[in-house]
Amino acid sequence: MATETEHLTEQSTTSLVAGIIADVELLVKQQMELARQEIVNDYHKARDAALSYAVAVVNCALGAIILCFALVYLLHWAASPPATDPAWLPLWGCYGIVGLVLVVSGGTLAWITHSKKPIDPLHNPAVEGLKENIDWLTRPK
C-alpha cells in the first residue's frame, strides 16, 4: 500500500514538472513571437518615416530649383524695358509662388515627421521581457 502511494506521488510530481516545463516553453515561444511582431512594427514605422523624409526632401529640392528659376526670371524682368511683359503676374512671380509652395510643404512634412515619437528598437518591451525570463531561467539556484 505504501508503495502505491509513493508511485502516485512520484508520478504527480513528474507530471507537475513536465507541465511547468511545457508552460515555460510556451511562454518563451509567445514572447519571442511578440518580440518578432514588435520588431516588424518598428520596421514599418521606420520605413514610413523614411518615406516621409524622402518626400519632404524631394519637395524641398524641387522647390529650391524652381526658386532658382524664379530668380533668373526676376533678373530678366528687372533688366527688361518697362511694359514688355503683358501678363498680370510676371513669370518670375509664377515660379516663385510654385517654388515657395513646394519648399513650405516639404519643410512642413519634414517637421511633422521629425516631431513624431522616435523609434527605438533597442528598448523594445517584448525583448526586455524575454531577456528577464531568460535571466530568470538561467539564474543559478
| pLDDT of the residue at 129 | 73
pTM above 0.95, yes or no: no
Report the alpha-carbon distance of residue 116 to residue 87 in Å, rounded.
Answer: 44
Evaluate whether residue 13 is within a structural domain. Answer: yes
| pLDDT of the residue at 7 | 58
Block residue for cell numbers 511683359: 85
Dump pLDDT digits (tens) for 50-77: 899 999 999 999 999 999 999 988 888 8
Asked if residue 109 lies in contact with residue 59, where contact means CB atoms within 8 angstroms, the answer is: yes
Q: Which domain holds residue 20?
A: 2-122
Asked if residue 75 lies in contact with residue 29, where contact means CB atoms within 8 angstroms, the answer is: no
Domain count, the chain: 1
Dump pLDDT digits (tens) for 74-124: 888 888 887 777 777 888 888 999 999 999 999 998 898 888 777 766 677
Evaluate whether residue 113 is within a structural domain. Answer: yes
Asked if residue 103 lies in contact with residue 15, where contact means CB atoms within 8 angstroms, the answer is: no
Torsion sign (Cα): 79, 80, 81, 87: negative
| pLDDT of the residue at 78 | 83
Asked if residue 98 lies in contact with residue 66, where contact means CB atoms within 8 angstroms, the answer is: yes
| pLDDT of the residue at 137 | 72
Dump pLDDT digits (tens) for 2-24: 555 555 566 688 888 888 889 88
| pLDDT of the residue at 24 | 84
Evaluate whether residue 60 is within a structural domain. Answer: yes
Report the alpha-carbon distance of residue 36 to residue 7 in Å, rounded.
Answer: 43
* Secondary structure letter of residue 33 according to DSSP: H
Evaluate whether residue 6 is within a structural domain. Answer: yes
Report the alpha-carbon distance of residue 36 to residue 96 in Å, rounded.
Answer: 49
| pLDDT of the residue at 6 | 56
| pLDDT of the residue at 61 | 92
